[in-house]
Amino acid sequence: MAKSIKEIAQELNVSKSTVSLVINHKAEQARISKELERRVLDYVEKVGYKPNSLAKSLATGRSNTIGLIVENIGDSFFGPFALHVEELLRKKNYHVLYSSTLGDPQNAQDIIDFMLEKKVEGILLAPTVNLEEHQRKILENKVPLVVFDRNSPEVATHYVHIDNGDSSRKACLHLQSIGCKNFGLITIDSDQPQMLARKNAYLQFCEETGMQARILQLPYNRLRQKGIAALRSWVSKNVDLDGLFFTTNYLCILGLKSLRSEGGEHFNFPLFSFDDHELFDILNPKISCIQQPLEPLAKTCVKVLLKEIDSGITSPKEYVISTNLIKR
Amino acid sequence: MAKSIKEIAQELNVSKSTVSLVINHKAEQARISKELERRVLDYVEKVGYKPNSLAKSLATGRSNTIGLIVENIGDSFFGPFALHVEELLRKKNYHVLYSSTLGDPQNAQDIIDFMLEKKVEGILLAPTVNLEEHQRKILENKVPLVVFDRNSPEVATHYVHIDNGDSSRKACLHLQSIGCKNFGLITIDSDQPQMLARKNAYLQFCEETGMQARILQLPYNRLRQKGIAALRSWVSKNVDLDGLFFTTNYLCILGLKSLRSEGGEHFNFPLFSFDDHELFDILNPKISCIQQPLEPLAKTCVKVLLKEIDSGITSPKEYVISTNLIKR
DNA sequence: TATTTCTACTAAAACGTATTAGTAAAGATA
DNA sequence: TATCTTTACTAATACGTTTTAGTAGAAATA
Tell whether A179 and A254 lie within a shared domain: yes
| A51, A71, A88 - which closes a domain | A51
The stretches in chain B having pLDDT less than 70 are 1, 221-223
Strand D nucleotides within 7 Å of a protein CB: 7-12, 14-21
* Beta carbons within 8 Å of B176's beta carbon, 6+ residues apart: B209
Tell whether A177 and A120 lie within a shared domain: no
Size of interface A-B (CB pairs under 8 A): 120
Q: Residues A192, A193, A195, CA angle at the centre, nearest 5°? A: 70
The answer to the question of residue B326 being in a domain is no
Tell whether A186 and A268 lie within a shared domain: yes
The answer to the question of residue B126 being in a domain is yes
Distance between the alpha carbon (CA) of A30 and the C1' atom of C28, Å: 21
Range of the domain at A235: 164-291
d(CA B66, CA B97): 6
Q: Is the pLDDT of residue A290 over 90?
A: yes
- Give me the CATH number covering residue A82: 3.40.50.2300
pLDDT tens-digit readout, B217-230: 998 766 677 888 88
Distance between the alpha carbon (CA) of A94 and the C1' atom of C14, Å: 30
The answer to the question of residue A57 being in a domain is no
The answer to the question of residue A327 being in a domain is no
Tell whether A84 and A191 lie within a shared domain: no
Mean pLDDT of the region A310-321: 92
Give, in order, the Cα–Cα distances in Å from A170 to each of A202, A214, A248: 10, 18, 15
CB of B318 closer than 8 Å to CB of B289: no
Q: Work out how many domains chain A is built from and give that number.
A: 3
Strand C nucleotides within 7 Å of a protein CB: 7-21
Confidence at residue A285, expressed as pLDDT on a 0 to 100 scale: 74
Cβ of B58 within 8 Å of Cβ of A58? The answer is yes
The DSSP H or E segment spanning B320 is strand B318-321
Tell whether A188 and A220 lie within a shared domain: yes
Tell whether B47 and B155 lie within a shared domain: no
Which candidate from B107, B119, B253 shows the least CB-CB separation from A54? B119
Give, in order, the Cα–Cα distances in Å from B161 to each of B93, B125, B229, B246, B272: 25, 12, 33, 19, 21
pLDDT tens-digit readout, A170-204: 999 999 999 999 999 999 988 788 899 999 999 99
Tell whether A18 and A90 lie within a shared domain: no
Tell whether B78 and B135 lie within a shared domain: yes
The answer to the question of residue B99 being in a domain is yes
Beta strand spans in A226-317 (E) = 243-246, 271-274, 288-291
Tell whether B285 and B300 lie within a shared domain: no
- Which residues in range 37-96 of chain B are in contact with strand D, contact meaning CB within 7 A of any of its atoms? 50-52, 55-56, 58-60
* Beta carbons within 8 Å of B177's beta carbon, 6+ residues apart: none
Of the pLDDT bands very low, low, confident and very high (cuts 50, 70, 90), residue A225 is confident
Tell whether B229 and B185 lie within a shared domain: yes
Q: Note the maximum CA span of chain A.
A: 88
A66 closest CA partner among A94, A38, A30, A34: A94
* Beta carbons within 8 Å of A139's beta carbon, 6+ residues apart: A145, A155, A157, A313
Identity of the residue numbered B63: S
**Burial level of B117, CB count in 10 A (0-12/13-18/19+)?**
middle
Confidence at residue A79, expressed as pLDDT on a 0 to 100 scale: 94
Tell whether A154 and A299 lie within a shared domain: yes
The answer to the question of residue B32 being in a domain is yes
Identity of the residue numbered A301: C
* Beta carbons within 8 Å of A208's beta carbon, 6+ residues apart: none
Mean pLDDT of the region A96-115: 94
The answer to the question of residue B67 being in a domain is yes
- Give me the CATH number covering residue B11: 1.10.260
What is the CB neighbour count within 10 angstroms for residue A221?
A: 12
* Sheet hosting strand A288-291, strand order edge to edge: A215-219, A183-189, A243-246, A271-274, A288-291, A324-326
Q: Checking DSSP bridges between strand A288-291 and strand A324-326, what pairing results, if any?
A: antiparallel
The answer to the question of residue B328 being in a domain is no
Give, in order, the Cα–Cα distances in Å from B108 to each of A80, A114, B72: 18, 26, 11
Q: Is the pLDDT of residue A228 over 90?
A: no
**Burial level of A31, CB count in 10 A (0-12/13-18/19+)?**
exposed
Cβ of A282 within 8 Å of Cβ of B257? The answer is yes
Tell whether B33 and B118 lie within a shared domain: no
pLDDT tens-digit readout, B259-312: 877 777 777 889 999 999 888 888 877 899 999 999 999 999 999 999 999 988
CB-facing half-sphere around the CA of B213: CA atoms within 13 A:
14
